Amino acid sequence: MPDTPDTPNMPNDPPQPAAEPIGPAQSAYARIVQYIRAFEAQLDAGQEVAMGFAGSEAGVLRIEGIGFFDPDLITFYGRDEAGQKTQLIQHFSQLSVLLRAAPVANTSAPARRIGFVLQAGWRGGEAGDGSA
């Protein structure tokens, strides 16, 4: 279905074929990164991408990174509404991601755009090792 002004943009560039077969978690990771990039392209300078939790009182996670552990786990790293480090670990078959536009957390800095960083292979964590 083509995009219209009333429908969200779908990722335009599909994940590149891997030299080796990839697992389902890595495949889901690659697609989520594409969706984040498309979503961020629609945000204004005062907004950043965040993730809402459907069906719970967990609130919002400002996404700072995503990782995966094949064959089955996807993890989201970031900070909650109070600025506390937060990590969600989920089985790829139960994946449901609600992307939200959130006001910039640090108004003295430009909005963070993580989509291109994620596509370059960032695995999460401040040390780059996948830690939260």
In the chain (132 residues long), the average pLDDT of successive 10-residue segments reads 47 61 89 90 90 75 89 90 89 88 82 67 45 36
- What distances in angstroms separate CA 26 from CA 21, 72, 73, 80, 112, one per listed residue? 10, 8, 9, 25, 23
pLDDT at 102: 86
Query: What one-character-per-residue DSSP string does the chain give?
Result: ----TTSPPPPSSPPPPPSS---HHHHHHHHHHHHHHHHHTT--TTEEEEEEPTTSS--EEEEEEEEEETTTEEEEEEE-TTS-EEEEEEEGGG---EEEEEE-S-TTSPPP--HHHHHTT--SSTTSSS--
Model-wide pTM > 0.85: no
Q: Which residues contact 44 (CB under 8 A, 6 or more apart)?
A: none
What's the CA gap between 111 and 113, in Å, rounded? 6
pLDDT at 126: 45
pLDDT at 16: 62
Query: What pLDDT digit, counting tens, does each position of 47-81 carry?
Result: 989 988 766 677 888 888 888 999 999 999 888 88
Q: Which residues contact 33 (CB under 8 A, 6 or more apart)?
A: 66, 115, 118, 119
- The structural domains of the chain, with segments of one domain joined by +, span 24-113
pLDDT at 1: 42
pLDDT at 39: 92
pLDDT at 80: 87
